[in-house]
Amino acid sequence: MPEKPLNTTVSDADAEDILRKYDKESDYRKLEGFAAKVIAAIAITFSVFQLYTAVFGVLDAMIQRSIHLSFGFCLIFLLYPAKKSWPRDRIHPVDLLIAIIGAAVPLYTVINYKSLVLRAGTVNSTDFIVGLLGVLLVLEAARRVVGLPIVTIAVLFIIYALAGPFIPGQLAHRGADLPTLVQHLFFTTEGIFGIPIGVSSTFIFLFILFGAYLEKTGMGQFFIDLANAIAGWASGGPAKVAVLSSGLMGTVSGSSVANVVGTGSFTIPMMKSLGYKPEFAGAVEATASTGGQLMPPIMGAAAFLMAEFTQIPYNKIIISAAIPALLYYFGVWTGVHIEAKRLGLRGLSKDELPKIKSILMERGHLMFPLLAIVYLLVTGYTPMKAALYAIVFSIATAMLRKNTRISLGDIVTGLEQGARNALGVIAATACAGIIIGVVTLTGLGLKMGSSLVGLAGGNLFFTLFFTMLTSLILGMGVPTTANYVITSTIAAPALLMLNVPTLAAHMFAFYFGIIADVTPPVALAAFAGAGIAKANPLKTGFNAAKLAIAAFLVPYIFVYNPSLLLINVHSTLDILLIIITSVIGIIAVSSAVSGFLLTIQSFVERIIFFVGGVLLVTPGLSTDTIGAILLAVGYFIQKSKLMKSTKKN
């Protein structure tokens, strides 16, 4: 029999309420009877369509994306009510009507494809009405599934496109009338049907479907049990379990908030039971779960978009992202360890924990699909083929043992769940397409980039700082895929103007857009963690930001020294040196933030460790030397204080 999971958890009902509150994608109707069967049929058909095109070849870009959006609209408007007050156990007639219209509008492009191609660049009155309706439906779908932040940004961009001549200063442009804007946004591959939804209609959907099947096999509980067996006994064990399990879940999860609720329902109560303050327990889970979006191979699906935007092969992106992601988790782990030592928190007794050997014997085969997909991607298979094979492999490997075996019914419901899980990405990428469409029509990306560089006086550090702030603001309350689209379009061009390597510039904007999930005042992952921990949301957010200190340092490191991303690597020794100095610097900065290393730090000691740590992660022999000297002085002071206190006791 498999090991029994530990039973210190949040109830399923409480976890679901928290998920609904902080993750709009989870706030959908619970239908039964005929309506549920209709929804299931549409969702399963959607998944079958995606699998069919993956096997036999993707259709023409506009047709593939239009059908993808048609399915998405239909399911979104049926599952997500227009008003919170509307019933959740049945479909409102208005939503049914909008769902029918939503399914029909994108299909207008499919039906009239040839005539639209022949009159490319012009729209007749019917085109205009359909296109305008399509733009409004995208905004409404995003409002229901993703939330107001991204809709607000998209509307502001539309206003900017229309009001160009009336805008003063550098951001002014010649403007566009409404028919021109609608044509650009809805009838070209520069707007709603651009790269984001193109990636959603191919790679991302299949990876989401892969994740749905992994969930069916019990992968989530396997990760939690494995993390407990590895780290549950250590000082502050449950917090380290949260870091490890959330990192593992992040390899297949597309949502920081869903990751927090999924693993946090187990880890947060466990941390509290061992003496962690609620605000810190919630922060640990939030920070660890958010880091999952930075962890290859999926990276919250943004890696697929990054490959398309930068024209850098996907397998190179995930390999390049590995070291920074591991440094991020090392920073969180260090913060947890220091806090555990400061508070004298113990781990769990080994009798309370599952055994590694039995876990691997019973369920270790569940790791094979993940290993397979990494192998396929690294060896040159396209993301679509790798995901397709991984789906088949995940079902096949689950069949190897009775305790993980899934039935034919599970395979069918996996198709339904995969389609449901993709709705948030569809709405987000379609809405992000509006933003990209305005940028390509007006040249706003270059204008914003020039403004940021001008504000920084052409100085790289200040440009990085202002880009960081821009990415943090743009990323607030926005899901990973849309988050990256926005930050890469608006913030990254500033870095490219200063000759920062393309991958480093995009990764910099991506990192800080993701870290917005744990950065107050709008820190959705931290707020979800606070909900489970029954803690103060803002305090939890500030604790999470402190724990994520590595995430604030690592992007600066790889911009100043792209070798960390395996760009222009001269030797393995260079990479090792960067990693070693970065690790020591992260430990020093984490200790300064916590105010503890070997013993409590004074204010002066915290300054010494913070400055020394920052200098050590800044590339250059002189900065490394000064940083090392400062840390040696700080360590000597800490050691002396510890010896004195030991003698007194």
Going 193 to 195 to 201 to 202, the CA torsion angle's sign is: positive
Q: Which pLDDT does position 503 carry in this prediction?
A: 93
Q: Which pLDDT does position 361 carry in this prediction?
A: 84
For the cut 90, the answer to whether the pLDDT of residue 42 exceeds it is: yes
Q: Which pLDDT does position 254 carry in this prediction?
A: 59
Torsion angle of the four alpha carbons 471, 324, 495, 593, in this order, in degrees rounded to the nearest 10: 60
Backbone region of residue 11 per phi and psi (left: phi > 0; alpha: psi in -120 to 50; beta: other values): beta
Beta strand extents in 52-210 (DSSP E only): none
Closest C-alpha to 482, from 188, 241, 169, 149: 149
Q: Is the peptide bond before 87 cis (omega within 30 degrees of 0)?
A: no
Assess contact for 517 and 524: CB atoms under 8 A. yes
Bridge-partner residues for 596, per DSSP?
600
**Confidence at 13, pLDDT banded by 50, 70, 90:** low
**Confidence at 637, pLDDT banded by 50, 70, 90:** very high
For the cut 60, the answer to whether the pLDDT of residue 5 exceeds it is: no
pLDDT per residue as tens digits for the range 517-572: 888 877 788 888 888 888 888 888 888 888 888 778 889 988 988 888 888 777 78
pLDDT per residue as tens digits for the range 256-272: 777 787 777 777 887 78
Report, in angstroms and rounded to the nearest whole number, the Rg of the chain calculated over CA atoms: 25
Closest C-alpha to 426, from 102, 85, 36: 102
Mean pLDDT of 386-399: 90
pLDDT per residue as tens digits for the range 223-246: 777 877 877 777 667 777 777 777
Q: Which pLDDT does position 307 carry in this prediction?
A: 87
DSSP 8-class letter at 218? T
For the cut 60, the answer to whether the pLDDT of residue 7 exceeds it is: no
Reduced to 3 states, what is the DSSP secondary structure of residue 600? strand
Reduced to 3 states, what is the DSSP secondary structure of residue 596? strand
Angstrom distances, CA of residue 165 to CA of 168, 490, 586, 597:
8, 20, 48, 58
Q: Which pLDDT does position 8 carry in this prediction?
A: 54
> Range with the lowest mean pLDDT among 73-77, 391-395, 442-446?
442-446
Q: Which pLDDT does position 372 carry in this prediction?
A: 86
- Residue position matching structure tokens 């999971």: 5
pLDDT per residue as tens digits for the range 351-378: 767 788 888 888 888 888 888 888 888 7
Q: Which pLDDT does position 172 carry in this prediction?
A: 83
**Confidence at 11, pLDDT banded by 50, 70, 90:** low
pLDDT per residue as tens digits for the range 149-193: 889 989 999 999 999 888 887 788 887 889 999 999 999 999 999
Q: Which pLDDT does position 649 carry in this prediction?
A: 61
For the cut 90, the answer to whether the pLDDT of residue 139 exceeds it is: yes
For the cut 80, the answer to whether the pLDDT of residue 248 exceeds it is: no
For the cut 50, the answer to whether the pLDDT of residue 4 exceeds it is: no
Q: Nearest-5° angle of CA 354, CA 358, CA 364?
A: 110
Question: Residue 3 phi/psi, 5° resolution?
Answer: -60, 145
For the cut 90, the answer to whether the pLDDT of residue 77 exceeds it is: yes
pLDDT per residue as tens digits for the range 569-582: 777 887 888 888 88
Q: Which pLDDT does position 353 carry in this prediction?
A: 74
